[in-house]
Amino acid sequence: MATTSRYMALQGEYVRLYCMFEYNGRLTDPSVQPTVEIVDSNYYQESSSSSSIQDRSSSSLSDSFSFSSVSSSSADVGQGWGPFPAQRENTGVWYVDWYVDPAQTSPGAYYDIWRFQWSSSERVQRQIHPITVVPSDTYLTYVKPPLVQRLGDCAVEMLRELSCSLVFEAQHIPNYMEQAKRFDAKTLGFAYQNWNDDPKPVLIRNGEPMTSGWTPDMMGSILLDKPADPEDNFFAQYYFRYFSDECLLTFLNEGLYMMNATPPASQAYGDICSAPFVWRAGIMLYASIQALRRIIFSTTFQERAIIYGEDPARAQDAMNRYQQLLSEYMTLWMEIRKDSKTRMLVPILQYVTPEYTLPGGRSRWFRYLYKG
């Protein structure tokens, strides 16, 4: 069985539904294990004015497990499943696996409703996210990159902080009305990979948006359910990321290597999760420096330069701005590098308990005190 995402939940497969929890801007676990209910659009609309899926803000989350699973075959009422206990993957990152049963689910919109508490004394809060279920035959033409990742809590947090601060704009680049390249009657190709899920891509055929009948692989291709006519013209609007998560992790590791090499280098760390917390600013700043260098270098090539428009002067102007920003980052990095390991309080070397009753005890205690 494959594990698909909420944006393309395949019938007959498991879909992994993620939810992230932030407290004061940092990934944080709720105090109690969250619970998840899954409903279709009819059930959700019906429950908005009824008590079947109420907020239950006055009750505790432990009471949620006493609710039985709900399911109805009535088209007017809709269907619901759960509640299910969520599983923890990393700090602040929870998920639940749901089997998309073809006998009970049809292609369309569904919702997962999360309930959680920040502390036992606070009210139960609710978060709702959309799910898109697609036919099972879509899987036949969907290819996933051959990569398996496992990230620690620190790596997840640093990736998120880097993407949301220093390189945010490079990770949210809009591309409007790009004309598709025809690979075959059912496959359309586009210029850039690493598409963002939010906002969702839009496919336009002959001037009209297509609301169904196509699936993006989020890596630069769109797969049509039915062969297109030769005279059809396709355009797409999407947001994409300049860097994949693998690139950002490489930049973070290079930042760690530079911090390891900064004198005094008596102790080195093998991965970013084991590095001291006080090194984090230096690691992330050097990672952003490497990202800027990559952008500046790639701007010399046509495929990347066209991001800034067809006028070459715009790409050159962007490169000059990047060079100025890179210079500022390098200046700040040199300051952090110089002070990160040297301007720290000297730790206590040893504890000595004075013993005056023994011969020579007082003089021995003073020798210990002023040793080194």
Query: pLDDT digit string (tens) for 68-82?
Result: 344 444 445 568 888
Q: What single letter denotes the amino acid at residue 252?
A: L
Report whether pLDDT(54) > 70: no
119 Cβ contact list (under 8 Å, min separation 6):
31
**pLDDT of residue 142 exceeding 60:** no
Q: Is 272 exposed, middle or buried (0-12, 13-18, 19+ CB in 10 A)?
A: buried
Q: pLDDT category, 105, cuts 50, 70, 90?
A: confident
Read off the pLDDT of each residue in 92-115 and give the average, rounded to a whole number.
Answer: 90
List Cα–Cα distances, 152 to 118, 158, 285, in angstroms.
22, 10, 20
- Averaged over 146-159, what is the pLDDT? 75
The span from the CA of 79 to the CA of 131, in Å, is 14
pLDDT band at 240 (very low <50, low <70, confident <90, very high): very high
Q: How confident is the model at residue 24 (pLDDT cuts 50, 70, 90)?
A: confident
Rounded to an integer, the average pLDDT of 284-297 is 92
Alpha-carbon span 104 to 331, nearest angstrom: 60
Average pLDDT, the chain: 80
pLDDT of residue 294: 92
Kindly report which listed range (20-34, 102-116, 305-319, 330-344) carries the lowest average pLDDT score: 330-344
Statement: residue 358 has pLDDT above 80? no
* pLDDT value, residue 356: 56
- In percent, the amount of the chain with pLDDT more than 70 equals 78
Whether residue 337 has pLDDT greater than 70: yes
> What mean pLDDT is predicted for residues 16-42?
87
**pLDDT > 90? residue 286:** yes
pLDDT at position 64 is 40
Please check the confidence at residue 233 and state whether its pLDDT lies above 80.
yes
Q: Give one word for 148, left, alpha or beta, with left for phi > 0 and alpha for psi -120 to 50.
A: beta
Rounded Cα–Cα distance for residues 32 and 63 (Å): 12
pLDDT tens string 160-174 = 888 888 888 899 999
- Please give the single-letter amino acid code of residue 115: R
Please give the Cα distance from 174 to 170 (Å, whole number): 10
Q: How confident is the model at residue 370 (pLDDT cuts 50, 70, 90)?
A: low
Angle, CA of 164, 165 and 171, to the nearest 5°: 55
Q: Where are the alpha helices (DSSP H) in the chain?
A: 41-47, 153-164, 245-261, 280-298, 302-305, 312-339, 361-369
Residue 291's pLDDT is what? 93
As a whole number of angstroms, the distance between CA 161 and CA 151 comes to: 15
**pLDDT tens per residue across span 185-223:** 888 999 898 899 888 899 999 999 998 888 888 888 888
What DSSP state is assigned to residue 195?
B
Q: Which residues does 47 contact at the CB level (< 8 Å), separation at least 6?
A: 39, 53, 54, 80
- State pLDDT tens for residues 320-335: 899 999 999 999 988 8
Q: Residue 314, Cβ neighbours under 10 Å: how many?
A: 14
